[in-house]
Amino acid sequence: MKLDVSERINLLSILPQEGSFLTLKIVRELRENLSFTEEEHKKFQFKNLSDNRISWNTKEAKENNIEIGKKAESIIREKLEELDEQKKLKNEHFTLYEKFVGR
């Protein structure tokens, strides 16, 4: 699935921290797929800002095709639907919600 830098970061932040062994195994693999390589770190020039935000070189930041299996996609969809039901979706979740739920 095509995801940009902010979508990858936001997705990493909402993945479940607990669950069944199978869920945790899938989430672990998904975190690895969503994480940034050393080459990407150099290219995007990530910087931690004082207010707990991250900035990067947006000229270099293109969408990347990230491998997401059916079960991982289901876990993401469930989490986004849960946030929606609890009215805890944020603006930064908008494109993720469209890609995973609003199809």
Residue-wise pLDDT tens digits, 27-51: 999 999 999 999 999 999 999 998 8
For the chain, percent helix, then strand, then coil, each to nearest 5? 55, 10, 35
Domain boundaries of the chain, sorted by first residue: 2-100
pLDDT of residue 52: 84
For residues 23, 24, 30 and 35, what is the CA-based torsion angle, rounded to 10 degrees?
160
pLDDT tens per residue, range 63-76: 889 999 999 999 99
Residue 103 has pLDDT above 80, yes or no: no
Three-state secondary-structure class, residue 30: helix
Tell me the whole-structure pTM to 2 decimals: 0.89
- The answer to whether the Cα torsion of 20, 21, 25, 28 is positive or negative is positive
